[in-house]
A and B are shown apart, each in its own frame.
Chain A
């Protein structure tokens, strides 16, 4: 609860501030709080990723991008009414949807009764891997992880194609 309140405060700060440097640092703090929330929820794998990517690497990339532009955000030219309306409607829809969510840790949800429990029983005799998260990711859902790796690969190639200056243009300038 404390963490969620802090996260809400950080978001208000991000929205109100015009100094982009402060915004980048605040969003890094937001990621760090998010990682703490994930640890509270016992999702250590995700928390590690969030702390390293969200709070670490993406902050550095944002700062590098900031280095190339101006630090102050330009004043908005439109009234914020329409975006605010859209945000409120979507937020209300999400809250409405969350009413139907099962209780946290409920043993009788489809997630825990369908394949999930099967993996928990089969993982150690079949793969000898104690961490079921790893065995599901790497073995039972190997195709999905392959797809995920290819997504990372594609993202890297895409950024390199856009940003990398090849040798010919470098010799020109």
Chain B
């Protein structure tokens, strides 16, 4: 795939910042705006941008189709697992306060884990749909 060299260089420069911004939105979501869904979409868009600029094959070498498909279910499992972990530790389903001795720390841990689950599922779904679409044209 031959694309304009300016676009290529600018994309290469931008990609790490987009990815970093996605992670910032993820882990700063408790203080600033953002959260798992937003971060997942940004990470997914980052990979899609890479695939557009450098070709589907190179993108699939970074993140293979099977990995993406596993990500979709892994995120939901992480979310559910956090919920069940609350049950095992003696609380209700999705009660994070019991995850650690201090309820506030438990809430922190629980929210971080489920936001991570949302990120993994959303990013996986975005990229998987893109792969499915883009793979058909060939």
A residues with a Cβ closer than 8 A to B are 44-45, 48-49, 52-53, 56-57, 60-61, 64-65, 67-68, 126-131, 133-135, 137-139, 142-143, 145-146, 148-150, 152-153, 155-157, 159-160, 163-165
Closest to A52 in B: B41
Q: What class of interface size applies to chain B in its complex with A?
A: 35 or more
Contact between chains at B129 and A156 (CB < 8 Å): yes
Interface of B is mostly: helix
Return 24 A-B CB contacts under 8 Å, by A number: A48-B33, A49-B37, A52-B42, A56-B45, A57-B41, A60-B48, A126-B103, A128-B104, A129-B31, A129-B108, A130-B31, A131-B32, A134-B111, A142-B96, A145-B79, A153-B76, A153-B121, A155-B125, A156-B121, A156-B124, A156-B128, A159-B128, A163-B136, A164-B132
Contact between chains at B80 and A146 (CB < 8 Å): yes
Residues on the B chain within 8 Å of A142, using CB: 83, 94, 96, 114
A49 vs B122: C-alpha distance in the bound complex, in angstroms? 11
Interface of A is mostly: helix
A137 vs B48: C-alpha distance in the bound complex, in angstroms? 27
